[in-house]
Amino acid sequence: MSAAAMGASGMGVVAQNLTYQVGRRRILHDVSTTFEPGYVTGLIGPNGAGKSTLLRLLAGEENPTEGRVIWAGDDVRTLSLSDLATRRAVMTQSNFVAFDFLVEEIIALGWLGRAQLLADALEEVVTLTGVSDLLGKKFNTLSGGEAQRVQFARALLQLFPLGEQEQEQARYLLLDEPTASLDVANELHLLGLVRQIAAHNVGVIVVLHDLNLAARFADRLTLLNGGEVVKSADTDAVLTSKLLSEVYNTPLQVEYHNALDRLLVLS
């Protein structure tokens, strides 16, 4: 199904002419794009391009100065917090927890379903994300990378159980630089999981800094610069030497690697 067709059928998350201002500073300007279930969409762009702000507006945490965010046909402002919580999970970059919560207690905070079903879902998520060795530890003693993996597990639990079939209500996973503190093995594992989850008709919107990770794991990319969408299209179409060099204001070379069967971004 083409992007336009899905958007028109009322599915997906639609950003409609979003402008966001703080005082006189314009952080986003007239941003329009669509995110669909089943796809991994990367938000890329230089520092200060407005990636995290766009993610917050999509999540419904803040309202745009102008424009609308539409979730499967509903304006996000008309949805209650608890309704939204069943439609999407968000992983932010905040990791501060003041008290000695255990890792499993933190993960379990993501569970919105019935208490009796928590144990099974928790076990599944812990296995999937490979954080079983962290169980029983205090969350605030973890390293930055470990904390990030636990937060990812927590966000994932919010979407569980993942349906095998396409559900009536598609769900979304919004990630703000989920691999910022991870080593390369964990980085690949987490983004690999993200792809598996997308296969369960979950729409993934992920802010990424590493363009090679974007090339490897994203189906589509939205390239932002100075608060405006430069290009929003399939990954291959966005990752071009000319476009990236221009936007990042530094010479960048995009090459296709035969053996790896993907694009490489070289600086």
Contact positions vs other proteins (CB under 8 A): 38-40, 56, 59, 61, 81-82, 84-86, 88-90, 92, 94, 96-102, 104-106, 109-110, 112, 118-119, 123, 126-128, 130-133, 135-136, 154, 158, 185-186, 188-189, 192-193, 195-196, 198-199, 219-220, 234-237, 261-262
As given in the structure block, the two tokens for residue 136 are 């029983």
93 vs 241 by CB, closer to other proteins = 93
94 vs 143 by CB, closer to other proteins = 94
Neighbours of 1 (CB within 10 A): 10
* One-letter amino acid for residue 161 of the chain: P
Q: Output the smallest distance, CB 40 to other proteins, in A.
A: 7
90 vs 229 by CB, closer to other proteins = 90
Distances (CA, A) of 59 to 12, 14, 67: 13, 11, 14
Q: Output the smallest distance, CB 179 to other proteins, in A.
A: 12
Q: Output the smallest distance, CB 81 to other proteins, in A.
A: 5
16 vs 86 by CB, closer to other proteins = 86
29 vs 205 by CB, closer to other proteins = 205
CA distance 31 to 53: 11
As given in the structure block, the two tokens for residue 162 are 């993942």
